[in-house]
Amino acid sequence: MQPPVQKNQLITAEITDLTHEGAGVAKIEGYTLFVPDSLPGEKAKIRVVHTKKDYGYGKVEERLEKSPDRVDPLCDIYGRCGGCQLQHLSYTGQLKYKQKQVIDALERIGGLSDVKVLPTLGLEYPWIYRNKAQVPVAARNGELIAGFYQKRSHQIIDMDHCLITDETVDEIIQEVKKIAKETGIPPYDETNHRGVLRHIVVRIGRETGEVMVVLVTKTNDLPHRKTFIRGLTEKYPQIKAIAHNINSKRTNVIFGETTKTIWGRDVIYDRIGSVKFAISARSFYQVNPQQTRVLYEKALEYAELTGQETVIDAYCGIGTISLFLAQKAGKVYGVEIVPEAIEDAKANAELNGLDNAFFEAGKAEDVIPAWHEKGIKADVIVVDPPRKGCDEALLKTIIAMKPKRVVYVSCNPSTLARDLRILEDGGFQTIEVQPVDMFPQTTHVECVAQIVLN
Ligand code: SAH
């Protein structure tokens, strides 16, 4: 069958939906046309730029009717930078969009049409929320640049300011760039795998104000090390740790295996609620601390702890959720794949005087079945997997372990829906899903679900 529109054709159409990547959707005789920078309810003259059998792409030539939810993006580089996708949508519109993303995924992928999905919990001020920036370094016309990747590309946009990043983090990134330029340290060139400085990573503990800087190089040594240390620590007393990470591989992954502390501590500290955390360079730590607290409190509510329960926290990172729950549970077991994060988790349990939390490094899908075999029983299992969701072996073990409740923290509604289907087929029921906006201005959707044993 031929698509009803051809390349270069100019059509007038209405936008009826928004994809999980933030593009508008127009339906032309049932054929799907993706139209970037357009919003549901808008009408536009659209130039068809590309067609495939089942779907195509179009570009707005003239907007005929504007959505009441359309706002002017605040950032100068919005549209070119790949970091944000929804600055042209009002924040209220973004929150509704995220709730709908969850509802649609549950229905379409999980076949779950009667689950209660609550309105998204948002921030009062949806800017400068990120506690971390990790910016790639490159050369342009012989000059060092650092910033964000452009949409769908590996071209870097030189950036001197990011509106969703903590201001101190932003400023320190600029300072590292300035020192790097002054020293003449060669920027990494991914096309020929030459050069030295690959990434600048800066993270702040928003409650403590402590900052860690990590310089990632291709080479084993960091040239001008002392200049970096002196320049940064003299100007920014809040820097408590500077690390050097070596990543000599041809890869998109930011960190390599070796991290050396070159100044100060190995960790910075932060607090979520009353729990204090040590965070090392390579450990995962949620990027939006204010909303992390909201998310964890919801997870705690869904766990319905009375103080006696045994809880398993799968994909525990540095033990954030585990320790949050350990305050209200009998015992908590955490498992996580990154060994440094598990070291942090153990230190964090001690730091908070919580002696009822136990941690093991390994894959959740290997370690939890082993615990099950050893006879460990769980009343509540919390999972917080990366975007690809839970491994099927883990879901099978959860079904076999029959905990009273499962709390699923998810950063990807599609894999959440897929996994909920498996749990439902294994005898569980999804009670409620709460989206929490961890990533304003972007299309990323985070949510937490309560699932109970039937
Ligand atoms: N619950 C933590 C971390 C969530 S992010 C928090 O809220 O801070 C997901 C974590 O899963 C990361 O720390 C990642 O390193 C870890 N991970 C990824 N694959 C894993 C696997 N197969 N088994 C266990 N942990 C894994």
- Spell out the per-residue pLDDT of the chain, length 454, in tens: 789 999 999 999 999 999 999 999 999 999 999 999 999 999 999 999 999 999 999 999 999 999 999 999 999 999 888 899 999 999 999 999 999 999 999 999 999 999 999 999 999 999 999 999 999 999 999 899 999 888 878 889 999 899 999 999 999 999 999 999 999 999 999 999 999 999 999 999 999 999 999 999 999 999 999 999 999 999 999 999 999 999 999 999 999 999 999 999 999 999 999 999 999 999 999 999 999 999 999 999 999 999 999 999 999 999 999 999 999 999 999 999 999 899 999 999 999 999 999 999 999 999 999 999 999 999 999 999 999 999 999 999 999 999 999 999 999 999 999 999 999 999 999 999 999 999 999 999 999 999 999 9
What's this model's pTM, rounded to 2 decimal places?
A: 0.94
Supply 435's token pair.
């989206």
Shortest-distance atom of ligand 1 to CA 283: 13
For residues 136 and 201, give the distance between their C-alpha atoms in angstroms, rounded to a whole number.
9
> For atom 11 of ligand 1, which residue has the closest CA?
315
Measured in Å, residue 316 CA sits from the centre of ligand 1 at 6
CATH superfamily of 99-123+288-453: Vaccinia Virus protein VP39 (3.40.50.150)
Residue among 336, 384, 394 whose CB has most ligand 1 atoms within 8 A, to mutate: 336
pLDDT value for 151:
80
Query: Is the CB of residue 343 below 6 angstroms from any atom belonging to ligand 1?
Result: no
Buried-state track 329-347, b at ≥16 Cβ within 10 A, e below 16 = bebbbbbbbbebbbbbbbb
Asked if the domains at 99-123+288-453 and 132-272 fall in one CATH topology, the answer is: no
Q: So where are the chain's domains? A: 10-65, 99-123+288-453, 132-272
In this structure, what token pair is assigned to residue 218?
């291709």
Q: Which CA distances in Å does 121 have to 137, 292, 434, 447?
A: 35, 11, 8, 10
The distance in angstroms from the start CA to the end CA of the chain is 46
The matching CATH number, chosen from 2.40.50.1070, 3.20.20.10, 3.40.50.880, 1.10.10.10, for 132-272 is 2.40.50.1070
Q: Catalytic site residue 447?
A: no
* Cβ contact 415:389 at 8 Å: yes
Which pLDDT belongs to residue 234? 97
Residue 140's Cβ-count burial label (10 Å; 0-12, 13-18, 19+) is exposed
CATH class of residue range 10-65? mainly beta
- Cβ(157) – ligand 1 distance below 6 Å: no
Q: Which of 277, 288, 315, when mutated, tests ligand 1's pocket best, judged by the most ligand atoms within 8 Å of its CB?
A: 315
Residue 79: what pLDDT? 86
Mutate to test the pocket of ligand 1, among 255, 337, 368, 395 (most ligand atoms within 8 A of CB): 337
All residues at 6 or more sequence positions from 67 whose CB lies less than 8 Å from its CB, including other chains = 15, 39, 40, 41, 42, 93
Active-site residue, from 75, 81, 162, 411: 411
Distance between CA atoms of residues 15 and 130, nearest Å: 31
Q: Is the CB of 336 under 6 A from ligand 1?
A: yes
Nearest CA to ligand 1 atom 21: 363
The confidence score (pLDDT) of residue 119 equals: 98
